[in-house]
Every structure is written in structure tokens, then in C-alpha cells.
Amino acid sequence: MRLKKLELYGFKSFAERTEIVFKEGITAIVGPNGSGKSNIADAVRWVLGEQSAKILRGASMQDVIFGGTQRRKPLSYCEVSLVFDNEDKSLPLDYAEILVTRRVYRSGESEYFLNRASCRLKDVVDLFRDTGIGKEGYSIIGQGRIDEILSRKGEDRRQVFEEAAGIVKFRARKEEADKK
């Protein structure tokens, strides 16, 4: 499985429809301060279901929608998609390519889609659980996260290793079953 593409529309500073293609190998994103590098990482977190405005560096969840500039009107919604290559079927869906999309309007409520079919946040979270890709995964290491992992309490650190070992799904299923 590999991240092939990120598509943004109206997300933070990306008012224009923007495509970022990740070729095989390493992709580095460089640019001056304030040019939108961190906004790209925020977009990846957001589409994977991030619910915390603070983690997304905003005051409210609507702050992810392009808020306008002197020359350009604010937008009424934003949408981000991640495209994964799934030729190796490492994600348990019978598609060679998986498109995960999140959209939000100024009115609030987020919508999620898997390969353009409407789905729940839970479906997105379940799909990526134990792959390391989910918003709690270790695939996005934010500023300060390394220190955090090193200095955290054993219990918290264990979560990172459990995700890497691929056993979080069993714990989640057990917790769900216990609730019933």
C-alpha cells in the first residue's frame, strides 16, 4: 500500500483545487514560512478523521475551510481526498485504488466517503486501524512527537507499539463487545 495522491479543495490556504502526487521514493515539501507546508500535513490528519481543532491548529473545526483573502472570497465548504494504491490488497477492500474523502460545510457536520460512496467516520477509522496510518498512527510524526513518545508514561508508549504490532483492532473489538 502506498499513498499516491492528495487532493485538496478549499482546505485552509488551498483555495484552488490542488493535487499533490507522491511518486515512488521520497517526497519533500519545501517552501517559505507560511506557504502551507504544515497545512498539507493537517489535511492528511483531517481526512483520516481528526476531530480536534487544536491539533489542526485552529480555534474551531470550521477554521479548516478557506477563510478568504483581500482578493478572494471565503469558500463555503472544503474537501480533501487521499488516494492509496492497494494493488497488494493490504487494505481489506477489493479495490486496487482506495480513495478516502472528507468534506465539511460551514454549517458543521463532516461527510466521509470511501471510493466516493458515503460512509461513517468509523468505517474510515476501522479501515486504517493497525496500519499505522490512522490519525493516532505513527505515520504522521508531528513536531515534538518524538520527545513525547520518548518521555511519555509506559502505558501511553505501549499504545504506539501496539499499533505498530497490529493488535489495536483486537482490543477495540473486545471493548465494543464488552459494551454490548
Query: Where do contacts with Mg ion occur on this chain (CB under 5 A)?
Result: 38
13 binds ligand ATP (CB under 6 A): yes
Q: Are strands 77-85 and 2-9 parallel, antiparallel or unpaired?
A: antiparallel
Residue 132 as a binder of ligand ATP (CB under 6 A): the answer is no
Residue 5 and residue 23 in contact, taking contact as beta carbons nearer than 8 Å = no
Question: Which own/partner pairs from 99-102 qualify as long-range (CB within 8 Å, at least 24 positions apart)?
Answer: 100/47, 100/48, 100/124, 100/127, 101/47, 102/46, 102/47, 102/49
Least separation in angstroms between CB 108 and ligand ATP: 15
User: Radius of gyration (Cα) for the chain, nearest Å?
Assistant: 17
Q: How far is the CB of 82 from ligand ATP (least distance, A)?
A: 18
Interface pick for ligand ATP out of 23, 24, 28, 34 (rule CB under 6 A): 34
Site for ligand ATP in 56-95 (CB under 6 A): 63, 65-67
Binding partner of 132, given Mg ion, ligand ATP, none, CB within 5-8 angstroms per partner class: none
Residues 137, 140, 141, CA angle at the centre, nearest 5°? 105
Tell me which residue has its CB nearest to Mg ion. 38
Report if residue 144 touches ligand ATP, rule: CB under 6 A: no
Spatial distance between the Cα atoms of 38 and 29, rounded to a whole number of angstroms: 10
User: 16 is in the binding site of which of ligand ATP, Mg ion, none (Cβ under 5 to 8 A by kind)?
Assistant: none
Q: In what order do the strands lie in the sheet with 117-119?
A: 18-21, 2-9, 77-85, 97-105, 110-114, 117-119
Nearer to ligand ATP, 31 or 92 (CB): 31
* Interaction site with ligand ATP (CB under 6 A): 12-13, 31, 33-39, 63, 65-67
